[in-house]
Structures are given as C-alpha cells and as structure tokens.
C-alpha cells in the first residue's frame, strides 16, 4: 500500500513500523458497519471514526504542522474537531458529543488518514533529526493506546443494544470449553529496595514511567493468577453488593446510586449468568478471569477474601521476577500455567487494579511542549492499573507501563490480582 525509498535503514524500519501500526487500526474496523463506527453510547466511549481521525490528527498536529515545510492541513476544522484535550493547541469539540458528528463521514476520515500517512512517509524519505523520530514513536504508541480504546469502546457501544451485536462472529474453540485452572496460590516476596520505572534511554516509554528511581518494598505475597468469574460469583452470592462492610465509602455510594448488583457486562437471565463479549452474549466462563470490574469492585472483593490489591511497585517487582512467557493471543482465556508457583496472566488477560494512586514519580517531568499535556494533568483521583489485556496491541507493553482509570470506571478490560501483607 505504501512504499519508502529512504536510504537510512533506521528510517526504513520506522516507515515499516509506521505502516504496520497504522494498518492495524484499519484491521480493527473491518468487522464494523459505517453506522457502528459512529456510535458513542456514553461520554467515555468515543466513536471508532473519531479514534481513526484523532490518531491522524496527532501526527498532523505534532509532526507535520511543525516539522514539515509547506504542509497544508487536510481540513482546517479538524484542528478543533479531533483535538481530544490539548488546551495548548486550542479549543476542543465537546467530548460527549463526538457521536453527534455524521460529517466528516468514514470515507472522508479514511482519506484523511491516507493524506497524512503519505506526508509522513514522504517526510521519512528525507533525513530527519532524532526529535522527529521521537514524535513519530510517541504517535505510534498513542495510536496503539487508541487501538485498545477502540476495542473497549466498541464493546461498550454494542453493549447498550438489546440485540447484543457481535463484533467477531466466530468463537475460538479455546473459548468454548472451560480451561484448566490452577489453584490460587500466593507467592512470597522479600523486603527489598528496587528500581521502579525507567529512564527511557533505549526503549520508548511514556513520561509517567520516568525517571527510574528506588523504592523500598515491604514483604508481601502476590497471587499466582487473577480472580476468576467463578470466585467473583461467590462474592455476589454471599450478598457482596448489599453489604457495605466490604466497600470503600465512595464505592458503596456508587453502587447504591447506580443500583449495581454485578459487574458491568454480566447478565443474570433466568438464574443463569451470561457475559456480554465481542462475540455477543455468552455463557459466563467460570474459570476465566473476572473482567470489567471497577476499582470499587476489585477492592471490595479483596476485602471479602481478606486480601488486598497490590501496589503498583509490588506488581512491577513481581513482574520483573517472572519470566515473561505470556503471549497475547488468547482471548479472555486464562493461560495454562505450568503449576501454581508460577505467576501467570500478567499481561495477556486483564489489566490489574493496583492500590496505588496515579501520581508523579520523584523527579517526574512532562514531555516538553504541548504534548506535555499527554499524561501529567491526569494525575488526580485515578488509580494505576498494571499489566495489559487481550485488547492491548502486541509489543505495546512494558513492565514499567502505568495505565490509569477512575475508581468507578469498568468499561476497560480490568481484573483483580490479589496480594497480602506478610507479617
């Protein structure tokens, strides 16, 4: 589809990677209708079309408009329409109304992508300085984040439709039968002073993972796998949603106000449990990890079983001490662990709520310039999730990766990893 004539091998590689990541976004929309691409069933769940345009706007705004001589923007209105939250760039179209834009249509957005892609590839045929490569790298990681968001948002946007549409039409065999599941086991970790985060010297990392710094870890134990749907059902059946003793005060208020009696995508129909998935409504797989739970739910469940959530530092420590054999190709199925002493499901199932607030590391500095709004300004009232999930693109993850959501949110693929103090 695109070709490159740059001599610099490095830049050739970058073009290849650029094309590959950009193509991945298009692959995501293949099963969707034009109408599907415009859905926005809540403020948080942007239309697929908007994601396609916004990730393109990112390259246009931070790369082409700044570093490409004589660049003519595709459409001057897009500056505002597809700006997510960058006050430094200017006004933004109201987030909750993104689904109210039928124009530009999907075709025009795809043309916008082609236009910007060809300019970026053109630019990479010339000798560019390292700073430009950094912006492209940031843009590609940004696009991968949005690929995960697209899959989350499609799931949510479909979920409000009583027809329970299917995003993917065939269910893998592995899905259909319940996998073997290892007994829950807690692995002990000693007290230690460890390095947390990264300086992003060699490998790309977001500013919020930096700088690398020492943290003193107290002795703790860490669950070998995630909590399953079956285990979580025990909590529901024991009256977990009607007993305030397990819940944070804000969490109890939240489930009362929203009249919640189970996680977001679970449905109890004629006394049988189902789960809304990308494959439509499916019987609940009891041995699969519970997913799409809020921090409030994760914390209440941990209280119920007299455990707690790990801190993000404990999680990183445990992850760094675990051979990363996880692969990213199962779909909501627990990976087969060799035995229950091996830590599993670190990155391939669900993001894992930690008990750490999303706050700056000591010495944190936002990226310079307007892109500095990327991470830092959200360091408030959100909790860190670690790991990765089935929606996360391959090679997007790192052990130091910090994801973050508000405690009440549940439309991302979030699960529960337990931990305990050792006393």
Question: What's the Cα-to-Cα distance from 421 to each of 136, 225, 352, rounded to whole Å?
Answer: 43, 17, 18
Count residues contacting its own copies (CB under 8 A)?
64
Neighbours of 322 (CB within 10 A): 17
Per-residue binder mask for its own copies (CB under 8 A), 73-102, x = binder? ----x--xx---x-xx----x---x-xxxx
Residue 357 in the binding site for its own copies (CB under 8 A): yes
Extract the runs of DSSP E, i.e. beta strands, from 82-212. 186-189, 192-196
**CA gyration radius, the chain:** 22
Residue 9 in the binding site for its own copies (CB under 8 A): no
Q: In whole angstroms, give the CA distance from residue 409 to residue 14.
A: 35
* Contact in structure between 35 and 153 (CB atoms under 8 Å): no
Out of 25, 157, 294, 352, the only residue in the binding site for its own copies (CB under 8 A) is 157
Of the ranges 36-44, 60-68, 128-136, 387-395, which one interacts with its own copies (CB under 8 A)?
A: 36-44
Residue 41 in the binding site for its own copies (CB under 8 A): yes
Out of 6, 11, 25, 40, the only residue in the binding site for its own copies (CB under 8 A) is 40
What burial letters (b/e) apply to 183-197, b meaning 16+ CB within 10 Å? ebbbbebeeeeeebb
Residue closer to its own copies (CB basis): 283 or 363: 363
Residue 258 in the binding site for its own copies (CB under 8 A): no
The helix/strand/coil state of 319 is: helix
Residue 203 in the binding site for its own copies (CB under 8 A): no
Residue indicated by tokens 């079983």? 305
Q: What angle do CA 378, 379, 382 make, to 5 degrees?
A: 90
* Contact in structure between 34 and 105 (CB atoms under 8 Å): yes
Residue closer to its own copies (CB basis): 101 or 171: 101
- Smallest gap from residue 46 Cβ to its own copies (A): 13
Question: Could you list the residues that contact its own copies (CB under 8 A)?
Answer: 33-36, 38-41, 77, 80-81, 85, 87-88, 93, 97, 99-106, 157-158, 160-163, 165, 193, 213-216, 218, 220, 244-245, 247-252, 295-296, 308, 355-357, 359-360, 362-363, 377-381, 407, 421, 423
């Amino acid at each position: 589809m695109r070709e490159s004539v740059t001599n610099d091998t490095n830049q050739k590689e970058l073009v290849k990677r650029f094309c590959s990541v950009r193509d991945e976004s298009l692959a995501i929309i293949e099963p969707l209708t034009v109408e599907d691409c415009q859905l926005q069933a809540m403020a948080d769940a942007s239309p697929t079309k908007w994601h396609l345009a916004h990730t393109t706007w990112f390259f246009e705004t931070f790369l082409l408009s700044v570093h490409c001589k004589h660049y003519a923007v595709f459409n001057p209105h897009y500056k505002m329409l597809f700006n997510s939250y960058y006050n430094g760039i200017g006004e933004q179209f109201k987030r909750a109304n993104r689904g109210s834009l039928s124009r530009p249509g999907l075709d025009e957005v795809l043309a916008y992508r082609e236009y910007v892609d060809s300019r970026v590839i053109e630019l990479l045929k010339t000798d560019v300085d390292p700073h430009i490569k950094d912006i492209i790298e940031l843009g590609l990681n940004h696009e991968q984040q949005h690929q995960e968001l697209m899959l989350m948002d499609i799931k949510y946007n479909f979920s409000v439709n009583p027809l329970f549409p299917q995003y993917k039409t065939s269910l893998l065999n592995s899905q259909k039968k319940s996998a073997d599941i290892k007994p829950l086991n807690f692995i002990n970790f000693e007290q230690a002073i460890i390095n947390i985060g990264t300086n992003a010297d060699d490998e790309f990392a977001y500013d919020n993972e930096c700088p690398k710094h020492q943290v003193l870890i107290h002795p703790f134990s860490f669950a070998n796998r995630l909590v399953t749907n079956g285990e979580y059902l025990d909590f529901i059946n024991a009256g977990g949603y009607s007993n305030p003793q397990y819940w944070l005060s804000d969490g109890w208020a939240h489930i009362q106000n929203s009249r919640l009696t189970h996680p977001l995508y679970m449905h109890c129909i004629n006394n049988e449990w189902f789960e809304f998935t990308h494959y439509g409504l499916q019987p609940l797989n009891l041995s699969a990890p519970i997913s799409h739970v809020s921090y409030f739910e994760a914390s209440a469940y941990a209280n119920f079983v007299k455990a707690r959530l790990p801190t993000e530092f404990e999680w990183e420590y445990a992850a760094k001490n675990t051979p990363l054999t996880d692969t990213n190709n199962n779909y909501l199925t627990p990976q087969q662990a060799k035995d229950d002493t091996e830590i599993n499901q670190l990155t391939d199932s669900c993001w894992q709520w930690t008990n750490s607030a999303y706050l700056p590391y000591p010495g944190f500095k936002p990226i310079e310039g307007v892109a500095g709004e990327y991470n830092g300004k959200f360091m408030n009232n959100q909790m860190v999730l670690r790991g990765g999930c089935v929606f996360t693109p391959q090679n997007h993850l790192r052990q130091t990766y910090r994801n973050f959501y508000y405690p009440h949110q549940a439309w991302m693929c979030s699960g529960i990893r337990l931990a305990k103090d050792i006393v």
